[in-house]
Amino acid sequence: MRVEPRIVSPAEAVKVVKSGDHIHFSSVASAPACLIKALMARGDAGELKDVHIHHLHTEGAAPYGEARYEGIFQADQFFVGGNLRKHTQGGFADYIPVFLSETQKLYRCGALPINVAMIQVSPPDKHGFVSLGTSVDATLAAVECADHVIAVINKYVPRSFGDAMIPTSMIDIWCVDDEPLEEAHFSTPTDVEVLIGNNCAALIEDGACLQMGIGAIPNAVLAQLGNHKNLGIHTEMFADGVLPLVESGVINGMNKGIDRGKMVSTFLMGSQKVYDFIDDNPMVRMMDVGYTNDPFIIAKNEKVTAINSALQVDITGQVCADSLGTTHYSGVGGQVDFIYGASLSKGGKAIIAMPAVTNKGVSKIAPTLNLGAGVVTTRAHMHYFVTEFGAVDLYGKTLQERARLVISVAAPEHREALDKAAFERFGSHHHYVKGYMK
């Protein structure tokens, strides 16, 4: 049923929020800034308390995490972005550890209440549909389950297809705010990141289906794929790095087992070029995160190659990508979804890639993970491990074999200490052969 929007102001729209409510914001580039501002005004006026706010990573301001809103707003995120990291570390915000694939399930199964969904959408088309644009992820589930749905009509929200298309009948309250979407620009890869990119690209075969997220290392990988053929995309997100490969025909999806010829994603973050690219583009399907990140759906594509990053890896292959002691919070995200999906895929490759050392020269490969470090990918999931010093395949290897391989791609200046730690760990009870103390 087509519903003609009755437009109200953001201040009027957020009056539906009550103390104790749970609110979902659409994510990344699509965070509804005008509604957030209006909601903060109600908090400043003393009209609300104990309001819980949920979302994935968002770009732009997130004032509800500030100390002054303690007891008024509580940010319980599914993933911690830079705009809330300090607030989370300070105890004024928190996050819910959850696989990205299951963020939608939190709402659909009732584990997490959802009273109000606040989203941004494209202008309605002649058939009475709007598009969620760059943020389907858990937002579609929030729209389906919320008591009230507030939609900001924004002419800058791209008209993307797939699960992004929803009827106007699903919306209760409408606002208008034509603010350009938040853009993300990424720095040129460093020499180290280029080396990592080269090592990862060497593992990618023609016909592979890629998942690699955003940032300097993914861009460095993509820059090396110009001579590949028939690559596909099934991912949680993509950014500007894929566009030249689409334009050249390298990425065409013709080898995919499902969604043949289509690029599948659940949210996006990049420059305006990316948002323009998905607008009215039938090649792109923006899908519910329960679809994009389901390992068994992912594995319906052959040669799934998943490239994900880490904060720290121990010598047996345990991967910390969540929190490193108390110095970093992010979230579980979709790493395990795709690492597992790639491992199930025929000819698939699950890859963890990271620099061997921090910016201060500290080894990111450690005898054991730091106290408090969150293990996201277990040693049982770990297949390929890549640094600037090479790539090693850990699949089917014993703990001792893994230790030798992991140490072989550590920074040379740290190998002796790591080898000594491995010998002390395994040597007294096993036959660990020291390889780097000769």
Cite the active site residues: 236
Distance CA 312, CA 334 (A): 17
| Dist CA 395 CA 350 (whole Å) | 10
Pair of tokens at residue 38: 């209006």
CA–CA separation, 187 and 415 (whole Å): 30
Backbone angles phi and psi of 129, in degrees to 5: -115, 145
Q: What is the DSSP string of 288-321?
A: -HHHHT-HHHHTTSTTEEEEE--SEEETT--EE-
Beta bridge partners of 320: 312, 375
Contact 63, 41 (CB under 8 A): no
Rg (CA), the chain: 23
Short-list 168, 39, 2, CA closest to 115: 39
Q: How far apart are CA 224 and CA 249, in angstroms?
A: 14
Whether residue 156 contacts residue 180, with contact meaning beta carbons closer than 8 Å, is answered with: yes
